[in-house]
Structure 1
Amino acid sequence: MAYSTAARIADEARALLLAEGLEAVSMRRVASAAGITAMAIYRHYPSREALLGAVADQARAEITERWRHRPRQATPRAELRSTLNAVLDLALGQPALYSLLTTDSPSDSADLNWDPRAGKSPVLDAVAAAIDEGMDDGDFPPDDVWQVAVTIVGMLHGLISLHHAGQLGLSDPEFRVLCGTSMTRLLDGVAPQPAAEPVEPVAP
């Protein structure tokens, strides 16, 4: 298949995004990098939002395909850990792309009628599959699979957003540990040991 101008434009936009961040991706700069005029780019993408949407769709498709061929882990918990690490690899290694995929990109996830079961999120799909398997095996108590998956992904995304904003004061390795322990707390619950009952003094 021939390498189309539209594909070249999207690739250049993605390269600029990864190198300099979202704010650097302007139609003029992308057109220059792709070797076309600033006006010609609009024949392929009517707006910057449309271009960023194409970049996000391409990246999402690549992630979905890559994750589809990941080795399956031995247990549902191990599969959840593998998914968590894959998300962190993206979020910490390519933060601008992660931000585009989760917050900055116009997508169906911004629609109030968005259905998490529609297969449009590789992260949700992977988490839901592991939760479903764990419930079938008795590793997790019965519950609404998709609500649990959304809760896990929402927790992880919230932590990543705080980390990207520098509000946690953690290094990347320390942040990975926090995410792992947070996943454990979510799955097992926060159950502190009961306080010891006071012992009454014995009268002499």
Structure 2
Amino acid sequence: MSTSTAYHHGNLRAALIAAAEALLEKAGLEGVSLREAARAAGVSHNAPYRHFPSREALLAAVAAAGFARLAAAMDTAEPGSRAACRAYLGFAAAHPALYRLMFGPGLSKDAHPELRAAAGAAMRPLRAISAAGASREAAVGVWALLHGLAVLLADGQLADDLAARPEELAEVALATYGAGLRAAAAAPGSG
């Protein structure tokens, strides 16, 4: 590791989170340990324990930082807009291992309040769809569409030509879903 990315008497916690995320993206979940994060950050193998009592605590902090970045990406767009949805999908495509950690079953949000709070904040832009006139159920449908596409991208399940256009995939899926909602609302007996 270059000394320019190693920890140098700054924020050790942030340096360890960044090192663990880099390990996650490079080697997957099994490649992340407190010892490896310490090595990547350029500190002793005991240093992480000042901030993280366990590997799970470190991973929860990495996931919380990921949710904060996801929220920031979506916050650049109007809440509940298609641009926010595209930002969600773009984040997942750009950070597949981190996305899997954030939404995977390995971490309990109830066991990590910081993670629960960060996840809740990241979902606010999607919940804004409800405030824009759609039902809560419709907002969950939008999230389900985006999450499904994001998992397909993160797991490499889409053809290369489709995976190269995540924002376009989001647009088509959201337009199709919106058309279905409008058709259902206009159907006799739906009101």
**Structure 1 length-normalised TM:** 0.67
Aligned-partner residue type, residue 174 of structure 2:
M
Classify the secondary structure of the residue corresponding to 1:9: helix
Superposition deviation, residue 3 in structure 1: 2.9
2:33 to 19, 26, 29: 26
Deviations 1:117-173 (A, max 9, x none): x8843453112213322x1xxxx5xx3x3x322221122212222333333435323
> Which residue of 2 is the match for residue 72 of structure 1?
78
Matches within 5 A, 1:1-204: 3-68=10-75, 70-72=76-78, 79=81, 81-103=82-104, 106-108=107-109, 120-133=119-132, 135=133, 140=134, 143=135, 145=136, 147-171=137-161, 172-189=163-180
Gaps of 5+ in 2: 1-8, 184-191
> 2: distance between equivalents of 1:42 and 1:155?
39
Aligned-partner residue type, residue 159 of structure 2:
G
Superposition deviation, residue 41 in structure 1: 2.4
8 Å Cα contact 1:87-1:123 kept in structure 2: no
Distance change >3 Å, CA 165–CA 58, structure 1 → 2? closer
Aligned-partner residue type, residue 127 of structure 1:
L
Distance change >3 Å, CA 19–CA 83, structure 1 → 2? same
Aligned-partner residue type, residue 166 of structure 1:
G
> 2: distance between equivalents of 1:166 and 1:71?
27
Deviations 1:51-97 (A, max 9, x none): 010111123224334543x2538xx6xx1x10121012111111112
> 1: distance between equivalents of 2:170 and 2:74?
20
> 1: distance between equivalents of 2:101 and 2:17?
14
Gaps of 5+ in 1: 192-204
Superposition deviation, residue 10 in structure 1: 1.5
Distance change >3 Å, CA 57–CA 123, structure 1 → 2? closer
Q: Kindly report the root-mean-square deviation, in angstroms, between the aligned alpha carbons of the 2 structures.
A: 3.1
Superposition deviation, residue 106 in structure 1: 1.5
Q: Work out which of the two has the higher radius of gyration on C-alpha atoms and give 1 or 2.
A: 1
> 1: distance between equivalents of 2:61 and 2:166?
31
Distance change >3 Å, CA 17–CA 176, structure 1 → 2? same
**Structure 2 length-normalised TM:** 0.71
Aligned-partner residue type, residue 72 of structure 1:
E
Q: Which has the higher contact order (CA 8 A, sep 6+)?
A: 2
> 2: distance between equivalents of 1:110 and 1:188?
40
How many residues were matched structurally? 170
Superposition deviation, residue 29 in structure 1: 1.2
